[in-house]
Amino acid sequence: MSLSTTPVLTAVKEVLLGSTGATRTVPANTFQYGKHGGLTDTELAERAIVKPVFDVELLRAGRSPTTTGIFTTWGLYELSLRVTVAYHLSDEALDDAREIARALALDDADKILQALTYPGNVRQTSAGAATLLISGCLQSTSGIGIWREDLNNHLLITEMSFLGRMRVAQAA
C-alpha cells in the first residue's frame, strides 16, 4: 500500500461540513468549503457573507522518525494539516459586534478542535475510504485562536494546526 493523504483530507472536509463523525460533530451547514489560496481578503470576506468558509491544507507528509526501518511490515507516517476559517465581519463590526464575531469564531474553532481530535471521527470518508489515521483522529498542535483580523476588508480568520499519524503497510 502506498501513502495517500486524499482520504484524510476528504474526511476532514466531511467532518467540518457535518456529513461524517459520530461524536462531538460539527452541525451541518455551519461552514462551507472553499480554497483560500489566491484570493484577496476582499474576495474571501465576500465568500464568507452567507456562512464561514474553511480550507484544509496539507503542510507536510512523510515517514515518522519513529519508524525503525524498511524491514518492517508497517510504517508510521505523519502529516501536518492547517485548517483556516474565514468570517465576514459586518459593517457594524466595531466594539460589541466585533467581540460577538470573535466569540463565535472561537466557539466554532472549539467545535472543529473537538470534532477532529475525537477518536473515530476521521477514521474514514463517507464513501468508506480508510484514512489509516491511528485512532481515527488528529492531534491538535496549535490550540485555538484568532489568527488575523482585517477590519478594512471585513475579514476575521482563525487558524488551527493538526498532526495525523498513519499506519501504512510497507510496499512488498
C-beta of residue 82 within 8 angstroms of C-beta of residue 161: yes
- State how many domains the chain has: 1
Average pLDDT, integer, range 66-72: 68
106 falls within a domain: yes
33 is a domain residue: yes
Predicted confidence band of residue 168 (pLDDT cuts 50, 70, 90): confident
pLDDT, averaged across the chain: 87
Mean pLDDT of 130-136: 93
Number of separate helices (H) and strands (E) present in the chain: 3, 6
What integer pLDDT is reported at residue 71 of this predicted model? 66
Q: What is d(CA 141, CA 58) in angstroms, rounded to the nearest whole number?
A: 14
Task: Give the pLDDT confidence score for residue 13 in this predicted structure.
Answer: 96
pLDDT digits 0-9 by tens, 148-162: 888 888 899 999 999
Range of the domain at 72: 6-169
Decide if 1 is inside a domain.
no
What is the SS3 assignment for 131?
coil
CATH of the domain at 60: 3.30.2000.30
Provide mean pLDDT across the span 160-172: 85
Residue 68 has pLDDT above 90, yes or no: no
Phi-psi region at 96: left, alpha or beta (left = phi > 0; alpha = psi -120 to 50): alpha
Q: Residue range 76-92: average pLDDT?
A: 89
